[in-house]
Amino acid sequence: MAWKEEHERKEAEETAKRAGSAKIAAEKRPLASESAEAEEQPDKANQGSPKAVAVRKFPNTDVSSPDAAPEQDAPSPVPQPPGDLTQWQERDYFIAKLLEKPELLEAVARSAVDKRDDEQIVQILTRLLQPEVYAGLKELVFGGEQEETHTSRRRRVSSTQRGRDNRDYLHKLIEAVVDALAQNTTATASRSLAQLIVGKLETEDNRAASTAALESLAAHPTESHEEMLFRLVVEAERLVDAAEPEIPADVLSRQALALLAEGSSSAVRVRAAEYLAQNNPPPEIRTGLERLLAELTPENLEAHAILYMGAGDPKPTRQVLAGHFAASSSAALEHLLGIKVRADAEQLDRSRQTARLLWSNSFTLVVEGRLNRLDSWSDEPALLTLALSLPTDTMRAAVARRLDVQWSRGPGLDHSQLLGGSTVVEPGILVLLRKHFSERGDSWKPSSLVGLRTMRPAVGRSARDLDPVAARQQQEQQLQHAWVRLTGDLAADWCARCRRAAHDRDAAERALGRRIDWSEALVGLPMQPHTSEGVTATHTVLWPGGLPAGASGAAEDPLAIHYVRIEERTRPARLLACYGRALPDHQRRDIENGVCFEGMHGEVSAGVLRSIDVRITRAGTEIRRLPDEEQDLVVEIIAVTIRDPDGSVLNGPS
């Protein structure tokens, strides 16, 4: 600020000099006519030249007319800011403001890029918004007698009083300065924005500055800007402490909420959920925040989890949230199990975030508690689908305990509500169902679904027409049929998913000119297939070691899936005999268009559970033939391995 002090010193010297000149002029009054004639000479010399703004000599220059009297000040050109904006000094910004130069808007915009972490530019920008400028600058720019006129014209007045051109320039300057402040990374800039919003920083148009500052927070979203907007939503009354603020607190709160609703990160939505879970805000604020979190979007997922785990009555309701979580967890399962091969980077990243959130121990414990309070799974279908989509030991243990209670009641839901569509039942559930079948002995082993159908009551008869023993047997058979069908359909569903994943992956490999090698998948298969020829698809999953990068911590609990599909023209009797010998403890069951061997694999280390299903079906175009006739057949083998929820092992399944 040395130029300011120098200017003030020079001004004092000039004042004294003028006083001396006035005294000399009084003593020379008899020569007034000569003096008048001398004064006319400069005017004549200037005739025909462009009219210039008369200003006083800038203290640091020595520009004077050769014809002027030595003791008089000669007009000097208005000090213009440099054409190179990078060379602008502090006073250049204020001179440009007084002259309403458009270059100032460009200089301010450039500062947002070139000086993002500069605190000095923040001070300059803040002063540009204020009504007063440095003393002497107006006199320097406009000169003696014009100073009052220009100063009066530029004092802070209402928008209706200000000329249209001046008002437009001022508003453009306010918007440019505020936008530059919003892009500045310093804490000083953030404080200035906060003061502008609540009216604690005086400007030439407080309302315009407040509105521009508020909108700039949303235009340049950062963690601190979103936090500032959120605080305005919930604490506007406390932050706006002026007696008569330009914008009332409730209006600021609504405007901030509207900006957050237009677009905000999941972090600020989590902040909103935590606030709702821990506080009892006024109805208007609560309703506004609930609207912010109303949409079932990925951005709201973590916030919804907080609401779901809370003790209150959230909106959306827990049933709606459970369905949303089930769909999100199912999508994550497909991506992280490699079922959706064509997932892009954004989808994979979203699935990793979903897995870290919904598959965490804290979340599954909450779901377990809600599941345990159900009398029947049919009471809350959305909760059941959520529980069955979480691939964690904690959730599997909870489902296993509920199976003990639910088994005598049946699944409680039609299998179509659990399979197909956007819902994915995690493959570990297949192992738990197979385990329950094996633990119930021969009484739960069906010979075939065809046999079960023949034992249903004839048309027109009801269970009341049967004796108590027969009625009980019929009920057990119907329950058995429901569990058998659910388990078989779950195995078929996972075979279909693995087959599609393998075909998509292999097609992508062939498009790159690569050869498909299935030998490694066959080596890792827990059982030996009847042949290594005719393999058309394989899919292998090994968790947690096989999790995609960035998903560590999402599913630490072990899971292994081995799938192989073989297409061959042979006799069905040959395959039935082969797999009957290989899986002597498995139950053979007739299925649509074929036969299935299903059961638990006994040769597994302690604390590990493994189910193996072998499905032998006719190819799609093959007509029905006798078992001893050669025909086009498809053999699908799927083995799923998990840690026993009732035990523990150090090593995961393989």
Tell whether 379 and 445 lie within a shared domain: yes
Tell whether 536 and 566 lie within a shared domain: yes
Report which residue type is found at 6: E
pLDDT band of residue 426 (cuts 50, 70, 90) is: very high
For 482, residues 6+ apart whose C-beta sits below 8 A from its C-beta are: 410, 411
Q: Which residue has the higher pLDDT, 35 or 584?
A: 584
For 238, residues 6+ apart whose C-beta sits below 8 A from its C-beta are: none
Tell whether 231 and 186 lie within a shared domain: no
> Which of 451, 470, 489 marks a domain boundary?
451
617-627 pLDDT, tens digit per residue, is: 998 776 777 87
Give CA–CA dist 56/54, Å, rounded: 7
If one counts every other C-beta atom within 10 angstroms of the C-beta of residue 501, the result is: 21
What's the pLDDT score for residue 270? Answer: 92
- Mean pLDDT of the region 303-309: 92
If one counts every other C-beta atom within 10 angstroms of the C-beta of residue 123, the result is: 14
Give CA–CA dist 154/135, Å, rounded: 14
- Mean pLDDT of the region 375-396: 90
Distance of CA 574 to the CA centre of its chain: 55
* DSSP assignment letter at 30: G
Is residue 189 within 8 Å of residue 177, measured between CB atoms?
no
What's the pLDDT score for residue 398? Answer: 92
Tell whether 33 and 7 lie within a shared domain: yes
pLDDT band of residue 13 (cuts 50, 70, 90) is: low
Range of lowest pLDDT (62-66, 128-132, 308-312, 643-647): 62-66
For 510, residues 6+ apart whose C-beta sits below 8 A from its C-beta are: 516
Res. 184: pLDDT tops 80: yes
Res. 76: pLDDT tops 90: no
Beta bridge partners of 633: 568, 618
If one counts every other C-beta atom within 10 angstroms of the C-beta of residue 367, the result is: 23
Res. 254: pLDDT tops 50: yes
pLDDT band of residue 14 (cuts 50, 70, 90) is: low
pLDDT band of residue 137 (cuts 50, 70, 90) is: low
Tell whether 163 and 276 lie within a shared domain: no
What's the pLDDT score for residue 622? Answer: 66
What's the pLDDT score for residue 625? Answer: 77
Q: Is 283 buried (19+), middle (13-18) or exposed (0-12) by CB count in 10 A?
A: exposed
Tell whether 327 and 394 lie within a shared domain: yes
Residue 379 included in any domain: yes
- Mean pLDDT of the region 628-649: 86
Residue 483 included in any domain: no
Range of lowest pLDDT (89-103, 231-245, 545-559, 561-575): 545-559
Report which residue type is found at 409: R
Write out the two tokens for 235.
Answer: 């604490």
Tell whether 62 and 156 lie within a shared domain: no
Give CA–CA dist 374/401, Å, rounded: 13
Give CA–CA dist 107/119, Å, rounded: 16
Q: Which residue has the higher pLDDT, 147 or 258?
A: 258
189-206 pLDDT, tens digit per residue, is: 999 999 888 888 888 888
Residue % of the chain over a pLDDT of 70 = 74
- Mean pLDDT of the region 205-220: 90
Residue 484 included in any domain: no
Write out the two tokens for 229.
Answer: 């907007």
477-505 pLDDT, tens digit per residue, is: 888 888 888 899 999 999 999 999 999 98
Is residue 508 within 8 Å of residue 341, measured between CB atoms?
yes
Q: Output the CA–CA distances (angstroms, integers) from residue 606 to 228, 524, 603, 647, 651, in the order listed.
A: 55, 19, 9, 8, 10
What's the pLDDT score for residue 455? Answer: 40
Q: Is 631 helix (H, G, I), strand (E, B) or coil?
A: strand
Domain count, the chain: 5
For 425, residues 6+ apart whose C-beta sits below 8 A from its C-beta are: 385, 388, 389, 418, 419, 490, 493
Three-class DSSP labels, 501-533: HHHHHHHHHHHCCCCCCCHHHHHHCCCCCCCCC
Domain that holds residue 254: 221-316
Write out the two tokens for 425.
Answer: 């039942």
Q: Which residue has the higher pLDDT, 144 or 368?
A: 368
Res. 118: pLDDT tops 50: yes
Q: CA angle, 559 as apex, 554 and 564 as ends, to 5°?
A: 130
Query: What's the predicted TM-score (pTM) here?
Result: 0.72
Range list of β-strands (E), 516-619? 535-543, 559-570, 587-591, 594-600, 608-618
Give CA–CA dist 389/385, Å, rounded: 6
Write out the two tokens for 494.
Answer: 């996972």
> Which of 189, 219, 249 marks a domain boundary?
219
Residue 458 included in any domain: no
Give CA–CA dist 502/236, Å, rounded: 56
Q: Strands 535-543, 594-600: parallel, antiparallel or unpaired by DSSP?
A: unpaired
Tell whether 199 and 133 lie within a shared domain: yes
Give CA–CA dist 179/189, Å, rounded: 11
391-408 pLDDT, tens digit per residue, is: 999 999 999 998 888 888
> Which of 50, 77, 104 marks a domain boundary?
77
428-471 pLDDT, tens digit per residue, is: 999 999 998 888 755 545 444 443 334 444 445 555 566 777 77
Give CA–CA dist 69/6, Å, rounded: 24
Res. 39: pLDDT tops 60: no
Report which residue type is found at 175: E
Give kind and range of the element (H or E) at residue 471.
Answer: helix 468-511
If one counts every other C-beta atom within 10 angstroms of the C-beta of residue 488, the result is: 22
Q: Residue 50 — φ and ψ, nearest 5°?
A: -60, 145
What's the pLDDT score for residue 513? Answer: 87
- Mean pLDDT of the region 505-512: 87
Residue 65 included in any domain: yes
Q: Output the CA–CA distances (angstroms, integers) from residue 296 to 103, 317, 425, 611, in the order listed.
A: 47, 11, 21, 36
Give CA–CA dist 326/319, Å, rounded: 11
Residue 401 included in any domain: yes
Tell whether 89 and 60 lie within a shared domain: no
Residue 516 included in any domain: yes
Tell whether 203 and 252 lie within a shared domain: no
What's the pLDDT score for residue 54? Answer: 34
Tell whether 357 and 258 lie within a shared domain: no
What's the pLDDT score for residue 243? Answer: 54
For 163, residues 6+ apart whose C-beta sits below 8 A from its C-beta are: none
Tell whether 114 and 52 lie within a shared domain: no
Range of lowest pLDDT (100-109, 214-223, 441-450): 441-450
Q: Which residue has the higher pLDDT, 179 or 37?
A: 179
Phi/psi region, residue 490 (left: phi>0; alpha: psi -120 to 50; beta: rest), is: alpha
Give CA–CA dist 250/248, Å, rounded: 6
